[in-house]
Chains A and B, each alone.
Chain A
Amino acid sequence: MHRYRMKVGLGICLLCCLYLRATGQQFKPLKGIGLNGAAGFSYTGINTFLTPAVYLGRHCIYGGPQFSLSRSYFFSRGIWGINAGYRYTVLVARRWSALVLADFQSFCTVPYNPHRLPVNSRNLIRELQAGLGLYYHPVPSWHIGLELGAGVVQERFEDLSEQKTRYSSGMTQMLRLSTGILIWKK
């Protein structure tokens, strides 16, 4: 069901891009510094993001902290991580824009250790995703939108009983609601 929803979501995004392409008109995206806020679901559960962003026309790079609200992945609440990425605005039409993105998320945390065993290294979880986004701009310097992505996840974790560092990797998906505002315009 989850994969089905992701496929439907990606399909809708693609259709919206095609629609924008058909009705689109070129415009000049803004340059400046802004701030993004987002909440999304991915491999590690539900996370929130607050990332400063640099807008360079159609290009945007962003990076900042993320905060986990997960109740299904981490053994403790309130884990902080980092989020960084790049977005490229493909199409703009009226108040809508469509974009492609590459997104990186990482968390670092101590393993659950009820027996108080020695811990040699922290657990590290990294997600790298490629995706599509669709933004609505009530005003040119503010957007709200949806981002969908798919990619890979890698976990490095400590098997405490065996005192071994283990790795696992797999596929993951992302769904994120995002908003951003341009604070300083060039």
Chain B
Amino acid sequence: MKRILTLLALSLVACNKPSEDLMRNGFRVQIIGHGGCGVSGINQPLPFNSLESILRAVTFYNADGIETDVQLSKDGVLFLFREAALEAESSCSGCIQQYTAAEVEQCRFRTFSASTTAYHIGRLATVLQQFSQRKIKPLLFLDLHPELSCISDPLEKEAYYERVAVALAALLSQYQAQEWVWIQSSYNPWLRKCRDKGLQVLKDVTDKAVPDALPETAAAARVSGIAANNRYISAGQVAEARGYGLVVQIHGERSKQGLADALGKAPDYLLTDNIPLLQQMLGGN
């Protein structure tokens, strides 16, 4: 009986909101919507990375920010799209780099339940324009994926990375967005190009164990922070990175248990596919 009561007490302790101690100290983990309101699903009808999903995350859910993926069209316009191949998530086929902006804008998103939707692939400039007019600027994390299925030549790839960095710097300057936009990538040379153009960059260590020395090397490399999958970063590494003045973004968790574990590590930013669930866990208002 005593053992049962002990187990019950332990389970109640475990059920407490993990962020309560942090909240008491005035620290709040900021909620970042993954691709807007999250990956589309039964509870989330809007396509991932669509303008509609991104705007809903900040206007309806009042998320602190969003994370989205960026690619450059043939004529140098930045679009919000994740996959290297258009057919993976849209009605078009090929790669964004092969099409002009006018052609990309004709592509419609696909979701898990519909082969085409009414939602078109949107421009980054539209989001920046909308966000820049808001009184409280939402945070915007732009993920740059180095995988390019339609460009195989290494020199061409490097030229593409440079063009993206130049386009980002120009666009962020146009909307005075350098303060609230972060660039993140797993590819160091690309990050350096962005950093050298005055952009805030996060070193993304997706799907890899975070090396023990990463916070130190990241600080030395003059990146502003690190982004890591929750499975591969410890609470100690988060604290160490913060000690070096780096911000920490954690991603890769969908379940309530996983989000609770990530909250316990006290990152600055936590990516989620379910904004209301994370808000519930943070204790609502």
Residues of A within 8 A of B (CB): 1-4, 45, 70-77, 110-115, 155, 157, 159-162, 166, 168, 170
Contact = CB atoms under 8 A, between A and B. Distances in A.
Nearest to B64: A114
Contact of B43 (A72, A155, A157, A159): A72
B280 A75 contact: yes
Contacts of A110: 285
A71 B42 contact: no
Contacts of B276: 70-75
Nearest to B137: A161
A4 B113 CA distance: 8
Given A114-B64, A168-B60, 4 more contacts: A71-B274, A73-B276, A112-B285, A166-B59
A114 B277 contact: no
Contact of B62 (A2, A70, A111): A111
A183 B42 CA distance: 37
A76 B45 contact: no
Nearest to A73: B276
A75 B61 contact: yes
B36 to A, nearest CB: 14
Contacts of B274: 71-72
Given A72-B274, A114-B62, A2 B134 contact: no
Contacts of B56: 168
14 contacts: A1-B42, A3-B114, A4-B113, A71-B280, A73-B276, A75-B280, A76-B280, A77-B280, A110-B285, A113-B62, A114-B62, A114-B285, A160-B62, A161-B134
Interface string B254-285: 00100000000000000000111101100011
Interface string B115-155: 00000000000000000001110000000000000000000
A162 B61 contact: no
A156 to B, nearest CB: 11
Closest 6 CB pairs of A and B: A75-B279, A76-B284, A72-B43, A161-B136, A112-B62, A159-B59
Contacts of B277: 71-72
A166 B276 CA distance: 19
A75 B276 CA distance: 4
B28 interface: yes
A163 B285 CA distance: 17
Contacts of B62: 111-114, 160-161
A155 B60 CA distance: 9
A75 B284 contact: yes
B155 to A, nearest CB: 43
B113 A3 contact: yes
Contacts of B64: 114
B45 to A, nearest CB: 7
Contacts of A159: 59-60
Nearest to A117: B136
Among A72, A111, A166, A170, find the residue whose CB has the most chain B CB atoms closer than 10 A: A72
Given A3-B113, A111-B62, A112-B62, A76 B279 contact: yes
B238 to A, nearest CB: 21
Nearest to A6: B113
Given A71-B277, A73-B276, A157 B284 contact: no
A25 B60 CA distance: 51
Interface in B133-181: 134-136
A68 to B, nearest CB: 11
Given A2-B42, A3-B114, A74-B276, A114 B28 contact: yes
Nearest to B136: A161
Contact of B61 (A76, A77, A112, A115): A112
